[in-house]
């Protein structure tokens, strides 16, 4: 996360980080809303994707997203805090499967994402 300039610019905060599990929060700012005055879906996805990335990068090898699907369940607005919790469901060889729940400050689920990861042969030091 220290080198993730995009997530940092969105004000994301890592609340918890352990192999296979991560929790990341973000305060929704006014400039994160769309033309309808609700949180832009791409930014909800960005929060979920960041938690996913932290959860699946467990060692020195770089792990990237192979794909992800998100379902938006309800909208949020500026001033709300969203929290994404990513949990590893399976990891076999170089492939992983992760579920990410995005909830608002009351615990209501805003979105659910399923991410598929691929561990590369590259390391962070390269």
- Residue 126 above 80 pLDDT? no
| Model pLDDT, residue 27 | 98
| Model pLDDT, residue 124 | 80
The percent of the chain in helix, strand and coil, each rounded to the nearest 5, is 20, 50, 30
- Residue 125 above 90 pLDDT? no
| Model pLDDT, residue 1 | 67
User: Domains in the chain, please, with CATH?
Assistant: 5-123 (3.10.129.10)
Tens of pLDDT, residue by residue over 4-50, are: 899 999 999 999 999 999 999 999 999 999 999 999 999 999 999 99
DSSP 39: B
């Amino acid at each position: 996360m220290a080198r993730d300039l995009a997530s940092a610019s969105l004000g994301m905060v890592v609340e918890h980080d352990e192999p296979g599990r991560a929790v990341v929060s973000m305060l929704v700012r006014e400039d994160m809303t769309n033309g309808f005055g609700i949180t832009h879906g791409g930014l909800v996805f960005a929060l979920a994707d960041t938690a996913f990335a932290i959860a699946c990068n467990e060692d020195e090898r770089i792990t990237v997203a192979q794909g992800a699907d998100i379902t938006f369940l309800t909208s949020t607005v500026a001033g709300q805090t969203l929290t994404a919790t990513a949990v590893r469901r399976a990891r076999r060889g170089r492939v992983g499967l992760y579920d990410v729940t995005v909830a608002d400050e009351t615990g209501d689920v805003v979105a659910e994402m399923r991410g598929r990861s691929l561990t590369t042969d590259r390391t962070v030091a390269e």
